[in-house]
Structure 1
């Protein structure tokens, strides 16, 4: 049996892109070449790995092969980047996962900086809720992630992100320097049921309030539009500020709470060298544009790592 990296690369591309045509565009190959690569892998394994449907999905065998294929490609990319690092030329693609607010509020500035500072590294962003982001990093779908309040470990703290009240500009409290959550008790409360919901529940608990949202919406843009329309109020983090239109205000909130946004690679295997380079680059960028980030245990950025928005 001979399984090679191009076969695994084609298989993963079809799984991640959801079909052969999209995978071909992603890989810069013809659709027939992708189909041939996957078919040859299936012949080697003597069983189908994919159900040819829309979208394409894995068979039971394909699901078992998937994590091993990811790790194999991740290891191969690490070898390539270690060699590139030895010649002081950092190249390659880093897959970065983050939640919607981080993707829309924090990541664009980092991408712009990385594009100027590390032009040979391509960063592809994947957007998901907190559980998806952590899972993608753990199973090798992504090489790096911006995690929210992760346990102690290697990484770079990008920001301490405070929670704020989001109100229409004509709301009676819109001109207050600080909004107490208890003063919003009579307003319909809107929530996006992602990773922030647990923290917003905690804020309600600290204020001695029951958490009884009137509406739940998944999409952040929809949530903001509903506040614009006067349907209710909500709580968002400071990193969302760049997304807030002029007819809304984002105000300091009591009780005061915040979250840590940490750029990190996988915890249980070496980091892809390009992730280490991006993390070190982010430290310098944030030190120049705001207060310096806090490196989490010193060995964090010094560790290499292996490698699916924002």
Structure 2
């Protein structure tokens, strides 16, 4: 069988957009052309690749083909950009950037301003996910670049954007809210609230450093939900320092005696060549003006 790039684009778009109509809009094709392209691919594969009702979901075979299609399409985009760059073309098109919640809130907006000013033809699309999702998205080809936390080892060419540490987040009327620094063990009687979107391994490590048992009272996904629960007096949390600007007025962030640092890194994929525009974004991100403005 011979699979075309267009067929792979259609499969990815149908699954990601969740409907044939939305996929047609994103690919600037007619809906009938999208349906025909996917049907041709399914005929060649000998089995359905997506379920069409009640919602669009990939089948097991479709999921396996998607994994290859995303990587092939990412490499094809990078190849096209390399050829165009050799011919002197400016950076154009779309770059998909993945980042976690605190990086998206604190680091990425300032970088987007720099990239827009210096690469005006480039459209950088942000995809926000948990720490566990980011690296998988990057290596699968779902995104072209990412801001990762403590990658081990970092990909060749990656650059450090910022360092921060983990701190306690309390209500401003908490008995320890006026302290300059507290021991994590001092919060043992407070219900611990944690987010499943990232940082749990580091928070577990901090409890081990303090000789305390890690036993969260509540685990939620959204950071906004976590902050709302703290503000309501339902518990305390441990969060990275970059989250400081996300806190509402009735919450405070206090340094911990147990110091644990994390490093946020801008990177392309580790297992395949980077998109040329990602390399240009990297060079802008590591410039002194950018670094000095975003370090907490």
Does the alignment reach a TM-score above 0.5?
yes
| Alpha-carbon shift at residue 69 of structure 1 (Å) | 1.6
Q: Hey, what does 2:3 align to over in structure 1?
A: 3
Counterpart in the other structure of 1:280:
283
1:145 Cα deviation from its structure 2 partner: 1.4
- Residue 15 of structure 1 and its aligned partner are, at CA, apart by 1.4
Among 216, 228, 250, which residue is 1:247 paired with?
A: 250
User: Matches of 1:100 and 1:54 in 2, distance apart?
Assistant: 31
Q: Please, which moves more after superposition, 61-70 or 190-199? A: 61-70
CA distance in 2, matches of 1:239, 1:251: 13
Note closer, same or farther for the CA distance 1:288–1:205 as it changes in structure 2 (3 Å cut): closer
Partner of 2:120: 119
Alpha-carbon offset, residue 176 of structure 1: 1.8
CA contact (8 A) 1:148 1:261 kept: yes
Structure 1 runs of 4+ aligned residues shifted over 3 Å read: 43-47
Residue in structure 2 matched with residue 306 of structure 1 by the alignment: none
CA deviation profile, 1:141-163 (whole Å, cap 9, x unmatched): 11111111111332111111211
Q: Is there any run of 5+ residues in structure 1 with no aligned partner, and where? A: 293-310
Residue 109 of structure 2 aligns with which residue? 108
Deviations 1:209-256 (A, max 9, x none): 111222111111010001111111111101112211111111222211
CA shift, 1:191, in A, is: 1.0
Alpha-carbon separation, structure 1, partners of 2:77 and 2:294: 33
SS in 2 for 1:3: coil
Question: 2:47 matched to 1:43?
Answer: no
Could you say if the C-alpha distance between residues 63 and 212 of structure 1 is closer, same or farther in structure 2, counting changes exceeding 3 Å? closer
2:217 is aligned with 1:214: yes
Q: Give the TM-score, by structure 1 length.
A: 0.87
1:287, distance to aligned residue in structure 2 (A): 3.0
Query: How many equivalent pairs are there?
Result: 292
Give RMSD over aligned pairs.
2.0
Aligned match for 1:156, one of 146, 154, 159: 159
Deviation at 1:66, TM superposition (A): 1.5
Indicate yes or no: 2:142 matched with 1:141.
Answer: yes
Q: 1:28-80: per-residue Cα shift (whole Å, max 9, x none)?
A: 33333322222233334443322212431223332232222222212221121
1:55 and 2:55 equivalent? yes
Return the alpha-carbon distance in structure 2 between the equivalents of residues 44 and 113 of structure 1: 45
Task: Give the 3-state SS of the residue equivalent to 1:94 in structure 2.
Answer: strand
Secondary structure, counterpart of 1:90 in structure 2: coil
Residue 286 of structure 2 aligns to a residue in which SS? helix
Structure 2 counterpart of 1:197:
200
- Judged with a 3 Å threshold, the aligned counterparts in structure 2 of structure 1 residues 290 and 111 are, in CA distance, closer, same or farther, namely closer
Counterpart-to-counterpart distance in 1, 2:191 and 2:208: 17
